[in-house]
């Protein structure tokens, strides 16, 4: 496809739409592939190497292998990043000859079985963050011409504006979510793609001290095993190509009082934005401040059945659902169905929301 046939305005518009509506990221990559006459397209986080990236429909199988077989950690194309920053667009022909490509394991063992070989990387930069719009061509389609690469380099500046807009929008949403957590009295901390702290609300700041603190922009607590458990939870949410909405709660032992409970999660409208600075939200529950509500109070306030009230009361202590099911002598599936019913009756959607709500019920009951 000649340079003049590229519809880069369509690509820019699709990416701008995805910045406003994160559900459209994969569709934007389909537009990028079609508008450049290519096999597929993806948007890589150049610094974080995260697996959950936007991709066009046809890139699904190769991306799955890329992650599963560890090519994500052996991708020599990342060596092109310094050149990408300077030029705005790069291809493998900037550092490899066609003869070297034919012998290279990355191209022959990974790409060739999918019929892929050639790529153009387009810089997408906003502040200190860097992404790469990766346009993929098949062996038959051949490499991108110098004129096509120049058109991509010129297009890079337009993409930078879209990334800056998306970051601004996602940060505004993150601040709005933090205001909601603060209004409910829920301590919350937001982390970026490197698990570094970027936002802390006032209730969370009051928890910081000898038991919990931020060092080098990262959360740490007095217990090393608990700190490691937090890091594992972050890894599950950041490094899993299909991460759960929420990791298992982490118990953070304290020098005085009962353990603090941390609930790492992802908020769909914020963390699914490819350009979002916020990738993880952690809500904290302090059981010393919020005691467990009575089963009678739960049944009266929300119309829970006796079984649902028993489960909800134990959930309010921060226990994992499997442990609660074992404690109550019911199957995990039964407990899961009961929890769904509790969510519906209390108008909550995640365990941290439920715990925070029940904590307020308990504290109100104590003051009456």
Q: Which two tokens stand for residue 65?
A: 């292998």
Per-residue confidence (pLDDT) for residue 269, from 0 to 100:
66
Same domain, 8 and 157: yes
In a domain, 257, yes or no: yes
Query: Tens of pLDDT along 61-92?
Result: 999 999 999 998 889 888 999 999 999 999 99
d(CA 7, CA 14): 11
Highest mean pLDDT among 52-56, 294-298, 320-324: 52-56
In a domain, 177, yes or no: no
* Contact between residue 243 and residue 280 where contact means Cβ atoms under 8 Å apart: no
Which residues, other chains included, contact 214 with Cβ-Cβ below 8 Å and sequence gap of 6+?
Answer: 197, 200, 208, 220
In a domain, 140, yes or no: yes
Q: At what angle do helices 321-328 and 332-346 cross, to 10 degrees?
A: 110
Structure letter (DSSP) for residue 111:
I
Same domain, 297 and 274: no
Average pLDDT in the 127-132 region?
87
Per-residue confidence (pLDDT) for residue 366, from 0 to 100:
44
Q: Which of 83, 87, 111 is nearest to 95 (CA)?
A: 83
Per-residue confidence (pLDDT) for residue 227, from 0 to 100:
93
d(CA 66, CA 50): 12
d(CA 25, CA 56): 9
Average pLDDT in the 38-50 region?
88
Between 351 and 295, residue with greater pLDDT: 295
Per-residue confidence (pLDDT) for residue 129, from 0 to 100:
84
Cα–Cα separations (whole angstroms), residue 264 to 145, 220, 234: 46, 14, 7
Same domain, 113 and 149: yes
Between 90 and 157, residue with greater pLDDT: 90
Domain's final residue, options 231, 266, 284: 284
* CATH number, domain with residue 153: 3.30.450.80
Same domain, 25 and 7: yes
In a domain, 72, yes or no: yes
Same domain, 276 and 296: no
Domain's final residue, options 284, 313, 343: 284
d(CA 353, CA 359): 10
Which residues, other chains included, contact 347 with Cβ-Cβ below 8 Å and sequence gap of 6+?
Answer: none
Q: Which two tokens stand for residue 213?
A: 């603190």
**Which secondary structure element, helix H or strand E, spans residue 329, and what is its range?**
none
Domain count for the chain, please give it.
3
Average pLDDT in the 107-118 region?
96
Q: Is 175 exposed, middle or buried (0-12, 13-18, 19+ CB in 10 A)?
A: middle
Residue 292 above 80 pLDDT?
no
In a domain, 241, yes or no: yes
Domain that holds residue 135: 3-166
Same domain, 259 and 111: no
Average pLDDT in the 196-217 region?
92
Q: How confident is the model at residue 2 (pLDDT cuts 50, 70, 90)?
A: very low
* Contact between residue 273 and residue 24 where contact means Cβ atoms under 8 Å apart: no
Q: State the CB neighbour count (10 A cutoff) for residue 121.
A: 28
Q: How far apart are the first and last CA of the chain?
A: 74
Per-residue confidence (pLDDT) for residue 231, from 0 to 100:
92
DSSP states along 154-172: HHHHHHHHHHHHHHHHHHH
d(CA 78, CA 75): 6
Same domain, 192 and 340: no
Which residues, other chains included, contact 302 with Cβ-Cβ below 8 Å and sequence gap of 6+?
Answer: 342, 345, 346
Same domain, 209 and 306: no
Q: How confident is the model at residue 49 (pLDDT cuts 50, 70, 90)?
A: confident
Cα–Cα separations (whole angstroms), residue 319 to 122, 235, 254, 348: 46, 21, 17, 17
* CATH number, domain with residue 325: 1.10.10.10
Radius of gyration of the chain (CA): 24
SS3 266: coil
Average pLDDT in the 31-46 region?
95
Q: How confident is the model at residue 173 (pLDDT cuts 50, 70, 90)?
A: confident
* CATH number, domain with residue 198: 3.30.450.20
Domain's final residue, options 258, 284, 310: 284
Residue 98 above 60 pLDDT?
yes
Same domain, 51 and 162: yes
In a domain, 173, yes or no: no
Same domain, 278 and 330: no
In a domain, 175, yes or no: no
Same domain, 8 and 61: yes
d(CA 226, CA 125): 35
Percent of the chain with pLDDT over 90: 51
* Contact between residue 138 and residue 149 where contact means Cβ atoms under 8 Å apart: no
**Sheet containing 40-45: which strands, arranged edge to edge?**
40-45, 129-138, 116-126, 89-91
In a domain, 254, yes or no: yes
Structure letter (DSSP) for residue 291:
P
Q: How confident is the model at residue 258 (pLDDT cuts 50, 70, 90)?
A: confident
**Which range (24-28, 120-124, 249-253) has the least confidence?**
249-253
Same domain, 294 and 280: no
Q: Is 150 exposed, middle or buried (0-12, 13-18, 19+ CB in 10 A)?
A: middle
SS3 276: coil
């Amino acid at each position: 496809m000649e340079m003049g046939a590229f519809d880069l305005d369509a690509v820019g518009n699709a990416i701008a739409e995805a910045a406003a509506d994160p559900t459209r990221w994969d569709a934007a990559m389909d537009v990028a592939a079609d508008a450049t006459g290519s096999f597929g397209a993806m948007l890589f986080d150049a610094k974080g190497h995260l697996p959950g990236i936007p991709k066009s429909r046809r890139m699904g199988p190769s991306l799955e292998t890329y992650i599963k077989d560890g090519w994500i950690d052996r991708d020599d194309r990342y060596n092109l990043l310094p050149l990408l920053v300077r030029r705005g667009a790069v291809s493998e022909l900037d550092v490899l000859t066609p003869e070297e490509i034919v012998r290279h394991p990355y191209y022959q063992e990974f790409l060739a079985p999918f019929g892929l070989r050639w790529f153009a990387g387009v810089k997408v930069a906003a502040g200190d963050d860097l992404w790469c719009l990766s346009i993929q061509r098949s062996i038959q389609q051949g490499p991108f011409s110098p004129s096509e690469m120049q058109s991509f380099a010129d297009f890079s500046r337009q993409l930078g504006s879209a990334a800056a807009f998306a970051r601004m929008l996602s940060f505004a949403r993150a601040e709005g979510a933090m205001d909601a957590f603060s209004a409910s009295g829920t301590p919350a901390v937001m982390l970026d793609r490197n698990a570094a702290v970027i936002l802390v609300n006032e209730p969370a700041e009051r928890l910081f001290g000898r038991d919990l603190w931020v060092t080098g922009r990262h959360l740490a607590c007095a217990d090393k095993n608990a700190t490691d458990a937090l890091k594992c939870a972050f890894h599950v949410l950041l490094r899993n190509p299909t991460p759960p909405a929420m990791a298992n709660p982490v118990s953070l032992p304290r020098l005085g009082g009962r353990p603090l409970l941390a609930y790492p999660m992802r908020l769909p409208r914020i963390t699914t934005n490819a350009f979002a600075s916020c990738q993880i939200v952690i809500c904290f529950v302090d059981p010393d401040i919020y005691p467990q509500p009575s089963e009678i109070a739960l049944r009266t306030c929300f119309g829970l059945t006796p079984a649902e009230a028993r489960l909800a009361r134990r959930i309010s202590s921060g226990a994992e659902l499997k442990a609660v099911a074992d404690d109550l002598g019911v199957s995990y599936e039964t407990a899961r169905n009961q929890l769904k019913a509790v969510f519906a009756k209390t108008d909550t959607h995640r365990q941290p929301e439920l715990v925070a709500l029940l904590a307020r019920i308990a504290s109100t009951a104590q003051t009456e």
